[in-house]
Chain A
């Protein structure tokens, strides 16, 4: 069997694919966190709960309404975004102008409440979510075994990240968002409805988390605590990419997924901590993260 540095190629490619798959989730989730932090200056600890809400929204709408996976891929993130818009208007908007610590505490508490309610209603056992039939097979390309659904998730995540980046960097609404991120009061004084923009931004970031939740549902079990562990890694990804850096969040997400996958092949015992080791090294040499700007 072909090998690379003593590692069988199918094993290496398999782990790289899993790494890229995980990286796709890191990228979507950290992108949402970065956008929210950039404009609202809120460290959104509810992001893991919103990811879980996306998965549950897809599961429940599928069960109750019989909607197809493709419809759920749009409907569930929209439902999460609508919920997040309410949270921003009714709760977070009261904290504007206060220390970011208040936003962190509020979203942390919110995550506990949401996850607690779902645990109370559904228990901690995971719910099965069917994989769409059209994406359930695999393709074998030499040493590569490509599960169709995982490839779809990677491509979908890349498309979502690129479209979001392009919308922020290349459109007028993106320019308004960047201006408001840089100087919120001045952007408002120039005529932009920044409070509305903040609500929309929080809803959009939450919608991305919801989308990640729907994409995760067929592979991971849909459970109330599915976002709890993931969110810690995603925060490390955001810190490595640079707080508030859109491109940094996307690239760091994908790169760290790959780094995790490689570590599983080379030294599996370290695979759970490699992201945090990289974070410590990056912070030592670049305290603002790989792509962040020093304050």
Chain B
């Protein structure tokens, strides 16, 4: 099967700091891929590089065979990337309804009824300020607003960070349901049990370099290496 996302030799810089040193990574249609590493290894930076949020990049990024590198930043999401940033990126000066309906549609996204089926809490908070939501509600809103746009690939940056276990479980169930519907995901995560329950394939990242990759069935065999990479 052809790759949905194909990253080859991706390098990235923050100012003068060279932070990504040739990332190679693929995601196939309908597949969930987890990028695992400790703080500062380059996980978030890889997603930011995909969205053209770095000062400078080099290498190749293709989505469904189409080059993303040459596109201006505001046209990247339009190719079908649904970005859920670290710390959610909720616009606090906008209401929940405005946050939810703000992003331009890029495909056949979910309508309000489908969104509220997945995230019933949001229906009751539509008129609240985005900044007044709890961490869990903000995460749901961050996921819901990109699902409305109709993405082909969901980019999730630490979706469980700072959330209570019961909310983590709930978000896991939602992502599982999305996966079952065939939505491809690239998941950046430090929570190993969360990533393991969801992902089909894993990449290990250290110091801005991919240091290993394996399938779900091989996770046990790589458990020591994973633990050493994440630092648990």
Spell out A's residues near B (CB within 8 Å). Answer: 172, 175-176, 178-179, 181-183, 185-194
Cβ of B6 under 8 Å from chain A: no
Query: Most B CB atoms within 10 A — which of A188, A190, A192, A193?
Result: A190
Chain A contacts for B76, CB-based, 8 A: 189
Are B98 and A191 within 8 A (Cβ)? no
Question: Judging by beta carbons under 8 Å apart, are B93 and A193 in contact?
Answer: no
Number of A-B contacts (CB under 8 A): 53
The listed residue (B73, B92, B98) touching A189 by CB distance below 8 A is B73
With both beta carbons as reference points, the residue of chain B lying nearest to A175 in the complex is identified as B98
Instruction: Please give, as numbers and ranges, the residues of chain A lying within 8 Å of B51 by CB-CB distance.
Output: 189
A178–B73 touching, CB < 8 Å: no
Contact B85 A186 (CB under 8 A): yes
Across the interface, name the chain A residue whose C-beta is closest to B55.
A97
Known: A191-B74, A193-B74. A182 touches B83 (CB 8 A): no
7 inter-chain pairs at a CB distance below 8 angstroms, sorted by A residue, are A179-B102, A185-B53, A186-B85, A189-B73, A190-B104, A191-B74, A191-B77
Whether A181 lies near B74 (C-beta < 8 A) is no
Q: Is the CB of B93 within 8 A of A190?
A: no
B22 within 8 A of A: no
Residue count of chain B within 8 Å CB distance of chain A: 23
Q: For A186, list chain B residues within 8 Å (CB).
A: 53, 85, 89
Contacts of B77 in A (CB 8 A): 189-191
Q: Among A172, A178, A188, A189, which residue has its beta carbon within 8 angstroms of that of B93?
A: A178
Q: How far is the CA of A186 from the CA of B93 in the complex (A)?
A: 14
B103 within 8 A of A: yes
Q: In the complex, what residue of chain B is closest to A174 when comparing beta carbons?
A: B98
Asked if B102 and A175 make an inter-chain contact with CB atoms under 8 angstroms apart, the answer reads: yes
Q: Which of B15-40 contact A (CB under 8 A)?
A: none
Question: Which 10 interchain pairs have the tightest Cβ spacing?
Answer: A191-B77, A189-B51, A179-B91, A175-B98, A191-B104, A188-B73, A193-B74, A178-B93, A188-B74, A186-B89
Q: Which residues of A contact B89 (CB under 8 A)?
A: 183, 186
**A189 adjacent to B91 (CB under 8 Å):** no
Q: Are B104 and A182 in contact (CB under 8 A)?
A: no
| Complex Cα spacing A182 to B98, Å | 14
- A189 near B78 (CB under 8 angstroms)? no
Task: Judge whether B53 and A182 touch: CB under 8 Å.
Answer: no
Cα–Cα, bound, A185→B53 (Å): 7
| Binary A-proximity of B88-109 (CB < 8 A = 1, otherwise 0) | 0101111000100111101000
CB–CB A181/B104 < 8 A: no
Q: Is there a chain A Cβ closer than 8 Å to B52's Cβ? A: yes
A182–B93 CB distance below 8 A: yes
A210 and B169 CA atoms in complex are apart in Å by 56
The residues of B that contact A194 with a CB separation of less than 8 Å are 74
Partner of B102, one of A181, A190, A193: A190
Chain A residues near B93: list those with CB within 8 A: 178-179, 181-182
B window 60-94: CB within 8 A of A: 73-78, 83, 85, 89, 91-94
Contact in complex: A189, B83 (CB < 8 Å): yes
Report A295 CB to chain B, min CB distance, Å.
14
- Min CB distance A67 to B, Å, is 38
Residue of B whose beta carbon sits closest to that of A193: B74
**Apart from the given pairs A182-B92, A182-B94, A191-B106, 5 other A-B contacts in the complex at a CB distance below 8 Å:** A172-B102, A175-B94, A186-B53, A189-B73, A189-B77
Bound-state CA distance A52–B93 (Å) is 34
Bound: A183/B91 CA distance, A? 8
Interfacial chain A residues near B78, Cβ < 8 Å: 191
Chain A contacts of B98 at CB under 8 A? 175
Which residues of B sit under 8 angstroms from A182, Cβ to Cβ? 91-94
Residue of A179, A183, A191 with highest tally of chain B CB at under 10 A: A191
